[in-house]
Amino acid sequence: MSHVHLSDVQYINLSVLTAIKIGIQQDKVATCCKFALDTAQAELLGNLRTDQIWAIVANVGPTTLFPPRHDLLSLLQTPLPLAGPLATVRAPRPADGN
């Protein structure tokens, strides 16, 4: 069996794509909310085979597929007991999609 060496970014992309696929199979609506996916994205990601996910990760290379939250710096500087509630009530991205 050969070993595939992934960069840190590729490993994150693989993990997130796999988590999304599994989440869509279990609860499509909740997964779309968690990952800010629209219907078309959810359909495509939910229908990917494992080999397709690996191929995407390998071909995209060390480029992240998932941007951080717009409020990441603020959440990291928030007192830890407040970080979870604030992350829950704030949208991961601004309402206009930027």
- Give the pLDDT of residue 29: 96
Q: DSSP alpha helices (H): ranges in the chain?
A: 8-26, 28-35, 39-46, 50-60, 72-77, 80-89
Residue 44 makes CB contacts below 8 A (sequence gap 6+) with none
CA distance 95 to 76: 21
Whole-prediction pTM: 0.78
Could you give all domains of the chain from N- to C-terminal order, each with its CATH number? 1-66 (1.10.4000.10), 67-98 (no CATH)
**Percent of the chain topping pLDDT 90:** 61
Q: Which tens digits make up the pLDDT trace of 45-66?
A: 999 999 999 999 999 999 999 8
Q: Which tens digits make up the pLDDT trace of 65-85?
A: 988 778 888 888 999 999 889
Q: What sign does the dihedral 20-78-74-90 (CA atoms) show?
A: positive
Confidence class of residue 91 from pLDDT cuts 50, 70 and 90? confident
